[in-house]
Amino acid sequence: MKICIDAGHGGSDTGAVGPNYLREKDVNLNVALFLGDILKLNGIEVVYTRTTDTRLGNNSNESLSRRVKIANESGADYFISIHCNAADNRSANGTEVYIYDEKSKAKDMAEKILNLIATTMGFRNRGVKTANFYVLKYTKMPACLVEMAFISNPNEEKILADEKNQRKIALCIAKGIGEAVGINIIEYKKGRVNAKEGLNVRKGPSTKFPIVRVLKYKEEIKIYSVEDGWYRIDDGWVYAQYVDLI
């Protein structure tokens, strides 16, 4: 199973900006990366259209075309585009998910993602909708575009700005994907340190990064993602070789 995750906007294209100056591009990217971590932890292969704050092309048309190209060349089974909604009316609120048309094979997944976000976050459920969006029309695989909440609404902007809420939304999307394809998604795995001398927690997945703290022998940890033989835990990264899964 392979999922292409598309963090909308990026770089000079900020997307919508909230009343307290929260930028859509930043929320989209954070949620996309959290989503990728969860999916990879559950054995699902992930492809991203972007993993940094960069614009994919010199204009909107070029950006959309490159996103579709990445998805189609990746051989992904599904395409998930992450966005924040916005409206001139600041009272507009809620979450909605778009598919290309009613015949889309992504409809069931879209409904599951939508219901999980709305229920978990307490957002108004605005329904699954159809739209002639470029990334939905030209991707070769079933595709969903998730409008998480209204960044233009001060209350929802505050929710979207909180990293814990970004993780919650990512988990909702991951669980929706899992429910649609028959995979039981877990948020984290548990591990126990097997290094008797203790285990360094580093700021990144390499010995090049500075040490944050040292875990004790047999100390239990929560593992949120895996990357190149390293586990990401609450406050950093540890070398997987020195952790036993439990």
Predicted TM-score of the model (pTM): 0.92
Given 142, 165, 181, the domain boundary residue is 181
Query: Per residue in 38-83, pLDDT tens?
Result: 999 999 999 999 999 999 988 999 999 999 999 999 999 999 999 9
pLDDT tens figures, 191-240: 999 999 999 999 999 999 999 999 999 999 999 998 889 999 999 999 99
Q: In the predicted model, what is the mean pLDDT of the chain?
A: 97
- How far apart CA 127 and CA 98 sit, in angstroms, is 9
- Token pair in block for residue 169: 């939304």
Is 165 found in the same domain as 228? no
Find the mean pLDDT for residues 165-185: 97
pLDDT recorded at residue 69? 98
Q: Are residues 150 and 46 in the same domain?
A: yes
CA-to-CA dists, residue 226 to 34, 213, 241, angstroms: 12, 19, 12
Q: Identify whether residues 19 and 124 lie together within a single domain.
A: yes
| Mean pLDDT to the nearest integer, 155-177 | 98
What is the per-residue pLDDT for 227?
Answer: 87
Average pLDDT of the segment spanning 7-26: 97
Do 92 and 13 fall into the same domain? Answer: yes
The reply to whether 124 and 202 lie within a common domain is: no
65, with CB counted inside 10 A (0-12, 13-18, 19+), is middle
